[in-house]
Chain A
Amino acid sequence: MTETAPLLSFREVTRCFAQQQCPAVDSLSLSVEQGEILALIGESGSGKTTLLRLAAGLEVPDGGEVLLEGEVVADGNGNSVPPEKRRLGLMFQDGALFPHLSAWKNIAYGLRSLESKAQKARISEILEMVDLTGKEKRFAHELSGGERQRLALGRALAPKPRLLLLDEPFSHLDPSLRRKLREEIRSILTQLGQTALLVTHDPEDALAVASRVAILDRGRMVQTGLPSEVYQSPASRYCAERFGPANSVTDAVTGEVKWMRPEDARWISCEVADEGYMTTVASVRPMGNLYEVIVIPDDEPENRWLCFFKSGDMIKPGDRGKVAWRGKTDRVAWKT
């Protein structure tokens, strides 16, 4: 074979829930290539978790096909390979550890096809990888939040799944622990070259861990690309707002709407500069290391732009001046 099929692909997949009017996933097509870590981002209800569950076999699509390594594992007619036969790993939001089993037995759970010697070796290897050596006798409730999630990761990786699915794995952790665990998971996954599909609503998770990002909105995919691309050139307000505040800027020449990050704004107090948009300052709030300034562009009096300026101590509400937007050359708005 010259061309390898993507590890996981969705073809026009649709999933409706009986109680809801619109489909949770709406004829969506998407592939996960071998070795990549794809993050699915979207509001709650955008269908990202449903998509993950469709991949796992925990949901059955109402239409379209789900393929694993080129083989159809679910079609729209209710046929679906059960989850236990798909050789995937899934790490749940809250870990979903078996409360009646020790850490050791939790990891051993997915390894019953191995003979006992190989099983032992694999468990020790995993314990070391997730840094739980010495804690294998503990039960889930005797581990800290971070340790629990690491155990969940180890348990999911132990049977060497072809694809690891992660369902908001950090959402129950406090921010500092979250950052640490994110880093640990990223390094483990890249070391293993593990293909993974990550569902999250936190842009930081996606930016830190993923090699590609897909944004979902009401069951459809609205944008996909490298994390930095998606961050810097969002396709719509929805996409832009997944990664924090963004301003809609209408190009004075082409009339095209672009989405600009607050930190890309530059303040030009000189009114005669031939660069930027004429604005009036509405409010100024010092936020520690920067100033959060809201300005009203003259061209669109209904609109408000949120700008972060490094130095803003001389800007006052009511001031007039120009705001210019930095960025790639093709995105710089020139006003003539």
Chain B
Amino acid sequence: MPGVFPAEADSDLLEDASGIKRKFRRWRPDRWGTFSFFVVSAICLPIAAVLIQVGQESESWDNLVKTVLGGYLLNTLILVVGVALVACLVAVPSAWLVTCFEFPGRRILSWALVLPLAFPTYVAAFVFYQGSESAIPFLIWVRNNWGIETFLTFESIIRYGILIVMMAAVLYPYIYLACRSSFAQQGRTLLEAARVLGDSPRQVFFRVGLPMARPGMVAGVALVIMEVINDYGAVHFFGVPTLTEGMFRTWFGMGDKVAALRLASIVMVSIAILLAVEQLMRGRAQYVEIDDSSAPLARVRLSGFRSWLAAFVCLLPLAIGFLYPFGKMVRWAWLHLASDAGFLFSSGEAIARGTGLAAATAIFMPLLAAVFAYAVRQRENQRHKLMDRLAGLGYATPGAVIAVGVLVVFGTFDRWDVPFIPLLSGSLLVIGFAYVVRFFAIPLQFSRAGMERIGKPVEEASRLLGHGPLATFLRVDLPLLKGPLIAAGMLLFVDILKELPLTLILRPANFETLATTAFSLAKESRLQACAVPSLMIVLAGAIGLLVMNRWMVKPSLND
């Protein structure tokens, strides 16, 4: 009823520089504000828990600093720099070739070059580790002729080399996609202008194409680095202990929680630095767009030797990152199923639980994200934008760090005798919560993009036609968000099935996802058996790529 006001509010008068008295309303929590605040706190809690507990007493930390910490840092750095460099070297030329030149197979290669993204790093690692065994005769020859020292050097060079090439080969599509869309979209007229002004194609690449692709490239590189830091399976397999592997060893091997948390906070600080650098270098480009639909560039037709060279340059990463591991996997899976077809059913129940939880989370999380995005939209002030950003924080935090943080939070609740918590510990809810923390940015990004498309006026029209905020959400926003939310759900389902480090740490007894099944089989050297769940992950990943391609958004790290 008119004249009936909500709760009394306080306001304060501020005087600004020009002396005009302005009234600013204090932020008042309402239902929507309270809800979004609650969601953000829940998501930040495990991440904050890591940082808060760092100050506690640790027995092995000093020892750890003296012995292995340097190695962890160095390994992480080598991998990050190596993978980023190799990935750039592969991704940028192939993106340039498929957008600006015409050569045999270009159209297929243009989208096929994305396929390696369907391989999680640890799955590719199973194949490449096995492949690296073919170097053994050479290494034996080295040892026999040049001695043990040289042998060790060669062995680690080969190990690190293969690991770097392998990771770059499955992660380069992040950079490829970013470069391809910036070459194809913003560059188009400018590239043509540069040609008309008399630059050769090579000059255009260095003088126009590359500088303009930089923001997207930087964003892609940041995603690659995040994946490298996040990886546990591949580095474990290759015996290259990084910070993430170190966390596993310290907590679950040595039982020193605080030291593990300190490692986790080093990881988080490095990522914060990475993101700050990325933000600085990326400038104003907002997100990586995956879209090849814009009018095609007038491509330069290559002929003869040069056309085959171009095709080879583009085929090489595809072969290493997809064709080779995929072929191997199919062969192994075939061999295994031929000999032991009943295998699939033996661990069926555990896998069904994991898949069921992934599905449940993938249905619940988009709805939560939609309500959250709507709640944040109710007030477009600074504080809410900050909350929006904090809610997506988990996407930039490695899974192992989140898992450790979740353990700390539930452990603390346990000690404080918070009711019902003992029932929760080790249950599906804990791991489900961790998935929400880790992946909330994905449905949030989809919801936000969807609501942007709906537009404020449509919501306002609903308000003026007598519907309150909640009715407006249910009757206008939710039906219109159906498409993006389903897409987000599919992407989440795939991402949860693939997730390894977080799931390994938090999974309850008798709970397996495709990822953990594949990993434990691979650890037992049952590579043929492990190919079956691995292939399923890769196929699910391919579906995820299709969804991503259709919806053209990939959550960026920063917002």
A68 touches B2 (CB 8 A): yes
Quick one: given A96-B455, A109-B462, are A84 and B467 in contact (CB under 8 Å)?
yes
A99 to B461: give the CA distance in the assembly, Å: 12
A55 to B45, CA, bound (A): 41
The residues in A between 67 and 101 inclusive whose CB is less than 8 angstroms from any CB of B are: 68-69, 71-73, 76-90, 92-94, 96-100
Among listed B21-29, B217-225, B270-278, interface-contacting one: B21-29
Shortest Cβ distance from A56 into B: residue = B464
- Would A78 and B461 count as touching, CB distance under 8 A? no
Chain A residues, Cβ within 8 Å of B419: none
A84/B463 contact (C-beta < 8 A), A78-B9, A98-B458, A98-B476 known: yes
Q: Which of B322-353 contact A (CB under 8 A)?
A: none
- Chain A residue with Cβ nearest B17: A21
Min distance, Cβ B536 to any Cβ of chain A, angstroms: 36
A315 at the interface (CB under 8 A from B): no
A100 contacts B11, C-beta separation under 8 Å:
no
The answer to whether B466 and A92 touch across the interface, beta carbons within 8 angstroms, is no
Interface size class of A (residues with CB under 8 A): 35 or more
Once the chains are docked, how many angstroms separate the CA of A109 from the CA of B467?
Answer: 9
Contact of A78 among B28, B382, B476, B479 (CB under 8 A): B28
Interface residues of B, CB < 8 Å — how many? 34
B476 pairs with A89, CB closer than 8 A? no
Chain A residues 152 to 206 lying within 8 A of chain B, measured CB to CB, are: 155-156, 159
**Selected contact of B461 from candidates A16, A21, A92, A100, CB within 8 Å:** A92
Docked complex: B1-36 residues within 8 A CB-CB of A: 1-6, 9, 11, 18, 20, 22-25, 28
With known contacts A21-B18, A71-B2, A159–B465 Cβ distance under 8 A:
yes
A94 to chain B, nearest CB (A): 7
What's the dominant secondary structure at chain A's contact region? loop
Chain B residues near A159: list those with CB within 8 A: 465-466
Q: How far is the CB of A62 from chain B (nearest CB, A)?
A: 4
CB of B133 closer than 8 Å to a CB of A: no
A110 at the interface (CB under 8 A from B): yes
The answer to whether B457 and A92 touch across the interface, beta carbons within 8 angstroms, is yes
Q: A96 to B3, Cβ gap below 8 A? A: no
B421 near A: Cβ within 8 Å? no
| Residue B422 lies at the interface, judged by CB distance under 8 Å to chain A | no
Q: A71 to B3, Cβ gap below 8 A?
A: yes
Q: Which residues of A contact B461 (CB under 8 A)?
A: 90, 92, 96-98, 155
**Judging by beta carbons under 8 Å apart, are B465 and A155 in contact?**
yes
Nearest Cβ on chain A to B363's Cβ, whole angstroms: 21
Find chain A residues with CB under 8 A from B468 CB: 82, 84
Note all chain B residues with C-beta closer than 8 A to A156.
464-465
Task: Contact check, A83 vs B463: say whether CB atoms are below 8 A apart.
Answer: yes
Given the complex of chains A and B, what is the CA–CA distance between A109 and B6 in angstroms? Answer: 26
- When chains A and B are docked, how far (Å) is the Cα of A21 from the Cα of B19? 11
- Among residues of A, the one whose C-beta sits closest to the C-beta of B26 is A78
Across the interface, which residues of B come within 8 angstroms of A89, CB to CB?
Answer: 464
Are B457 and A96 touching (Cβ within 8 A)? yes
A84: chain B residues at CB < 8 Å are 463-468
In contact, A90 and B480 (Cβ under 8 angstroms): no
- Distance (Å) between the CB of A28 and the closest chain B CB? 15
Whether B9 and A110, one on each chain, are in contact in the complex, defined by CB atoms closer than 8 angstroms, is: no
Q: How far is the CB of B399 from chain A (nearest CB, A)?
A: 37
Q: Is the CB of B5 within 8 A of A113?
A: no
Contact in complex: A73, B464 (CB < 8 Å): no
Instruction: List 17 extra interface pairs beyond A16-B22, A96-B458, CB under 8 A.
Output: A18-B381, A21-B18, A23-B22, A58-B463, A62-B23, A73-B3, A76-B11, A77-B9, A78-B9, A84-B464, A84-B465, A90-B461, A90-B464, A96-B461, A109-B462, A110-B466, A112-B466
Residues of B whose CB lies within 8 Å of any CB of A are 1-6, 9, 11, 18, 20, 22-25, 28, 381-382, 455, 457-458, 460-469, 475-476, 479-480
A-B contact pairs, 12 of them (CB 8 A): A16-B23, A18-B382, A56-B464, A60-B25, A77-B25, A78-B9, A78-B28, A84-B468, A89-B464, A99-B480, A110-B466, A156-B465
